Amino acid sequence: MLPEFDNTEVAFSYRSNAALKQARFLFASMGSPTLTKIGIGFTKMAMAIKLPINGIIKSTIFKQFCGGETMEEAAETATMLGKYHIGVILDYGVEGKEGESEFDKAVPEFLKAIDFASSQQNIPFISIKVTGFSRFSLLEKLHAKAELNASELEEWQRVENRIDTICARAAEKNIKVLVDAEESWIQDPIDELTDKMMEKYNTQKAFVYNTFQLYLHSRLAFLKRSFTRAQERKYLLGAKLVRGAYMEKERARAAEKNYPSPVQPDKQHSDNDYNEAVDFCIENLENLELFIGTHNEKSCMLAAQKMVAKNLNFKHPHIYFSQLFGMSDNISFNLAQQGFHVAKYLPYGPVADVMPYLMRRAQENTSVAGQTGRELGLINTELKRRKLL
Ligand SMILES: Cc1cc2nc3c(=O)[nH]c(=O)nc-3n(C[C@H](O)[C@H](O)[C@H](O)COP(=O)(O)OP(=O)(O)OC[C@H]3O[C@@H](n4cnc5c(N)ncnc54)[C@H](O)[C@@H]3O)c2cc1C
């Protein structure tokens, strides 16, 4: 049966009344762009001057969107999700660290996550960001096709080795690696490196997935080119589809540097390309593996309907639906209840280090994006339903 995304009983079955009320307070606060702006500004300032705010953050926004500060803490959340047939993508969410020693230190964290994932029933994926292993400005230089000097070439080789170490361990342990997409002005080297890894490790099944941001008007064509490349070179394409998280930044940079914005002219164009990309992937499922990363109900429903129309098993090994932990449980839990493959992105890491991730979630959940209204409405409906019982 197709899922019903307005079934709040299923959506919030894992949440107590108290937890739901806390979530309601958080989403209501984030719903105000002014409050969010002030909150983000204050948090940045408080962290810079080392005010003791970790406790407040940990019991509010961190609790909503993160699995814990350590992998062991995240494991408890993963086990809880497993009880509802929901899988997990372990995401060591530390961002914004620069320096060779930090990049080297990150590798064993990911190897540990892979080893742990392989010991669990419901953790088929981990996710990585190439900026967790490479200097941002090196990626910028590569993207701009500027020539690298000898030491930069060695530096890039070290980045490649780090990613290769992770992908090799993942393939050995039967865990899949999702490579996140980032800002468009560093994306070419990320794509090239990910293509290389897919070619090396995806010969039998997709262990490595690239991410396609359909809010960029070039990406639908790029997805199709990536598929053709995979066919020619005889590997499976791993295709993680998202709309894209850096719209304001992309537009602001394009305006500042006076080049045409790479972002679609409006939301409808992003939606159209997203849904067409899902369609394209489902039509070519024999030769690719699809990861549908979205909180958009319509896109999820269209994908589910297409699976029904094509008589595909809901647990088709090449299709996963995914939402972020703490968001759109109405989609995740209802899809899982009907037997679809679902996995939640579950970031973990020290509070201070996951702040960039939390700030993106806060911004995404302001009323501008329209997400808060839906989350709040669903939480209120569920609280009312429980009260009537
Ligand atoms: C599992 C998962 C993994 C993710 N991984 C990544 C990643 O690797 N890289 C990344 O960048 N993001 C990632 N995201 C975030 C994602 O790109 C979106 O920002 C977020 O999911 C909101 O889009 P939506 O499809 O869920 O839904 P919706 O709420 O329907 O769409 C909102 C999105 O539409 C687009 N949009 C909104 N307004 C306009 C406009 N005026 N013009 C053009 N486009 C517009 C923007 O992309 C916006 O984020 C991930 C999300 C999920 C759920």
The whole-number pLDDT of residue 367 equals 54
pLDDT, tens digit, 9 for 90 and up, residues 263-292: 999 999 999 999 999 999 999 999 999 999
Length of the chain, please? 389
The whole-number pLDDT of residue 251 equals 97
Are residues 158 and 267 both part of a single domain? yes
Q: How many domains does the chain have?
A: 2
For residue 61, give its domain range: 1-66+352-389
In 3D space, the residue among 293, 206, 201 whose CA is nearest the CA of residue 244 turns out to be 293
Are residues 389 and 251 both part of a single domain? no
Q: How far is CA 104 from CA 29, 45, 155, 160, 297, in A?
A: 38, 29, 12, 12, 39
User: How does residue 42 score in pLDDT terms, banded at 50, 70 and 90?
Assistant: confident
**Ligand 1: centre distance to CA 55 (Å):** 29
Are residues 125 and 50 both part of a single domain? no
The whole-number pLDDT of residue 103 equals 96
Classify residue 22 as left (phi > 0), alpha (psi -120 to 50) or beta.
alpha
Distance CA 80, CA 77 (A): 5
Full-model pTM: 0.95
Are residues 179 and 32 both part of a single domain? no
**Ligand 1: centre distance to CA 246 (Å):** 8
**Ligand 1: centre distance to CA 386 (Å):** 32
The whole-number pLDDT of residue 38 equals 76
The whole-number pLDDT of residue 196 equals 98
Are residues 318 and 359 both part of a single domain? no
Are residues 336 and 385 both part of a single domain? no
Are residues 387 and 319 both part of a single domain? no
The whole-number pLDDT of residue 33 equals 75
pLDDT, tens digit, 9 for 90 and up, residues 157-215: 999 999 999 999 999 999 999 999 999 999 999 999 999 999 999 999 999 999 999 99
Helix, strand, coil tally for the chain in percent (to 5) = 60, 10, 30
Pocket test for ligand 1, best of 91, 215, 243 (most atoms within 8 A of CB): 243
Are residues 279 and 384 both part of a single domain? no
Are residues 290 and 380 both part of a single domain? no
**Helix 329-337 / helix 297-309 crossing angle, nearest 10 deg:** 20
Are residues 283 and 185 both part of a single domain? yes
Distance CA 205, CA 361 (A): 32
Provide the percentage of residues in the chain whose pLDDT is more than 90: 82
Q: Which helix (H) or strand (E) holds 324?
A: strand 319-324
* CATH number (domain holding residue 234): 3.20.20.220
Pocket test for ligand 1, best of 131, 242, 300 (most atoms within 8 A of CB): 242
Distance CA 343, CA 14 (A): 15
**Amino acid identity at 291:** F
Q: How far is CA 208 from CA 140, 238, 263, 382, 383, in A?
A: 23, 6, 26, 38, 41
Residue 306 CB neighbour total at 10 angstroms: 17
- Give the nearest ligand 1 atom to 298 CA: 30
